[in-house]
Amino acid sequence: MSQKGVVLRGAPGAGAAVGIDLGTTFSVVGACRRGRVEIFANDSGNRTTPSIVGFLDGASFIGDAAKDLPADNQVIDAKRLVGRQWSDPNIQKDRKMWPFEVVENNGVPMIRVDVGGRKETFAPEEISAMVLRDLKSTAEAALGQSVSKAVVTVPAYFNERQRQATKDACEDPTRSLHTACVSRVRRALKSRSLSAGTIAGLEVLSMINEPTAAAIAYGLDKGKSAGAAKTVFIYDLGGGTFDASVMKIVGGEFRVLASGGDTHLGGQDFDVLLVEHCLKDAARQLGADLAQDKQAVQDLRRACELAKRKLSSTPQAQISVFFSRINKGYQTTVTRAFFEDLCSKLFQKTIDLSKEVLSDAKVTTGQVDDVVLVGGSTRIPKVRALLRDMFGGKDLRQSINPDEAVAYGAAVHAAVLNGDKFYDKMVQLKDVTPLSLGILIVGGRFSCVIKKNSPIPCKNTQRYYTAYEYQSAIMCSKIYQGERPLVKDNHYLNKDLTIEVPELPAGQACIDTTFEIDASGLLTVTNVEPTSGRKVELKITPQEAHLSEKDIQAAIERAKKFSREDEDALRKVEEQLRRQRLFENDSRIT
């Protein structure tokens, strides 16, 4: 099953549609008009809007206005909370660095802030909805008309829960909230006190993966989509997430060959390492432990982020902060070499993940035509040097703005789905299955019907024969997802069906099993007994088949780790089946 998002085609010409890059640290909105893509500037004149919501004296502030507020009045990094569980170790680690309080509500992390002298609890989806509402207003001001539809981008490895939570933030965040929070939101809506920012009011035409959107921007840049076939590697390192994708671009068709990444790896993590270093250094210099002072931590975090940015263009940067609680100032100089050494493990992790994606795509570095940089953190010189070394000195594509590429591609996709004929024939997206899909056959073996990284939509049919004498029925649809040769090691989709077959000697009766995945990620499994035409069918939605990015990566890693043990186990099973005369071309089914 695809984890990559559901496409819902809108009615042509039914209102303006925009593309939104809802980022961890910054967000961008754009749209297509008069045959070109425009990225819109906000009220402050900036084309990127900080993904920050602030509260002061009972009023809410978004973006640049919120960034100017005291740190303890801000909510940042809401994207890192969306769709996650309270037990997530990353949540427990991050909350120590955030200026706001994170509390648990029925196993879900919630945000608690001071609003007009009283404590209010928000779901992360509500905070994201406020940012989305601001982006919508920015687009409406630029277009001079209302905006009702959007294509919203998400990290390639967002799981189904995170994708649904993001969709709720666009359309109605109360859908994913718990009862207490829903009641509070509804009361607020009734009084109109939060109506300007709580409901984004956008119909989601599609949720597209960030590297796929960036590939569209690359493909349309300087008319590349009209040229020869290209194999492109998208390296997307933003503020909060890392994505890597290998794509084949042929004309206007964008086909994902493989994707990988980490939804908790980006510029924010580099900042945290620098903050932790400075807290220890400040404790030594000033004789004060500031780790529990949230205002001090946030002031230091801002200074560290600024220093990190400066280090991309200068060999050293100064960090200077005055801590009002202890009435002392802290100052230190950080060199680029020190910063690179501090973050070296995280930088290397992006390279290791990139190599895995290339391996999954069965593409060598030499077969990659272009390496495209996306995300603000790709400006870090060491990141570029590591990537260049990985590709044997190949030049890195920097012709598209790394901050705007994702929103650019989303805007084009929005235009296509909204009926824009100019782009309709220029862009066709092709996604892939993250794991193999197949069924249980005799001996507890996994028979793969659709292979991992098969392009979506896809369809395949295989014939299976009876294993025992005079079987009257076949258990035809015990469906599994994974890469291991025995089904006990794969993910069971909990769908069982039987089909009647003629009572014949073993190996003579058969069924034809077809797996088909449509463009929306819906899996249809059809089993047909050919002599009678008898048929049974079932459907599995993306939600039913979803695995988190962690689960998918773990499944792939386990398959690699236990490949030798799996070969031995499969060999023993096959030897046993031969003795029982049940092994024949992996096609016997009970």
Cα pseudo-dihedral 425, 427, 433, 439, rounded to 10: -10
Residue 237 CA from chain centroid, whole number: 12
Secondary element (H or E) of residue 188 = helix 179-191
Q: How many residues does the chain have?
A: 590
Phi-psi region of 3 (alpha: psi -120 to 50; beta: other; left: phi over 0): alpha
For the chain, the helix, strand and coil percentages under 3-state DSSP, each to the nearest 5: 35, 30, 35
Query: Is position 79 annotated as part of the catalytic site?
Result: yes
Rounded CA separation 515/523 (Å): 7
Q: Which of 79, 149, 167, 308 is catalytic?
A: 79
Amino acid letter for position 220: L
- What is the DSSP secondary structure assignment for residue 503, as one 8-state letter? -
Catalytically annotated residue among 236, 299, 370, 549: 236
Output DSSP code: residue 12. Answer: T
Q: How far apart are the first and last CA of the chain?
A: 24
List residues bridging with 150 in a β-sheet.
18, 204
Beta bridge partners of 243: 236, 261
* H-helix or E-strand spanning residue 108: strand 108-115
Residue in 154, 132, 157, 160 with CA at minimum distance from that of residue 63 = 132
From 126, 210, 370, 549, the catalytic residue: 210
Residues involved in catalysis: 21, 79, 210, 236
